A and B are shown apart, each in its own frame.
Chain A
Amino acid sequence: AQTVTQSQPEMSVQEAETVTLSCTYDTSESDYYLFWYKQPPSRQMILVIRQEAYKQQNATENRFSVNFQKAAKSFSLKISDSQLGDAAMYFCAYRGYSGGGADGLTFGKGTHLIIQP
């Protein structure tokens, strides 16, 4: 079974600074997808970024980028120029390739990100 580990229960960063959230995972599959979701106090889970394991290039979405290290099974999220609206719980998630989506997502426990004004 796949597992996802987020070792930082809480992180704090000054507004406009850069912060990196860590995620490691365990799988025996060679093809899979990784995601970072954001959950603000509204409880809405919002996709931040996704990475296909077969792609060597790290995904980026505006101020959000990942450092995907397949051999190390590591998938960290970097948030540049942090903004107050980035404050939320951040979840790392895994989806296997073969299930076609029918196997759902495996989530980590989450990291609570605090933005200091």
Chain B
Amino acid sequence: ETGVTQTPRHLVMGMTNKKSLKCEQHLGHNAMYWYKQSAKKPLELMFVYSLEERVENNSVPSRFSPECPNSSHLFLHLHTLQPEDSALYLCASSQVVQGIEAFFGQGTRLTVV
């Protein structure tokens, strides 16, 4: 049983839709992350929240909008996506102490049609 839970597991959306991905961690961590995993590419770090403050966004397009209301919850709001945004979106959490590994959720498989 994972300490990081993502919902939904699968999502199909049209390019004009608005949807949100949700992540919840039960590990008492104080940093949360969104990663994008596309076929044949390394995992790409999208957003980092450390102590509920956004640290970096790595030049992610504005059609992706993160929200971190508290240290246990992280959202990724999606708006007017493109087909190339179809991917597995992984949430992770960790403790902001050097060397502590990240714990991942099972991901949301997103398909943009």
Contacts and interface: CB of A to CB of B under 8 A. Distances in A.
Contacts of B90: 43, 45
Contact of B104 (A4, A45, A109): A45
B99 A104 contact: no
B104 A102 contact: no
Given A44-B106, A45-B104, A50-B101, A107 B42 contact: yes
Contacts of B98: 33, 97, 100-101
A92 B50 CA distance: 23
Interface string B60-102: 0000000000000000000000000000101010111111111
Interface residues of B, number: 31
B31 A102 contact: yes
Nearest to A97: B98
A97 B48 CA distance: 16
Interface string A87-117: 0000100010100111111111110000000
Q: Chain A interface: which size bin?
A: 20 to 34
Contact of B43 (A52, A101, A102, A107): A107
A47 interface: yes
A37 B35 CA distance: 14
A100 B99 CA distance: 7
B2 interface: yes
A52 to B, nearest CB: 6
Interface string B14-52: 000000000000000001010100001111010010100
Interface of B: 2, 31, 33, 35, 40-43, 45, 48, 50, 55-56, 88, 90, 92, 94-107, 109
Interface of A: 4, 33, 35, 37, 42-47, 50, 52, 91, 95, 97, 100-110
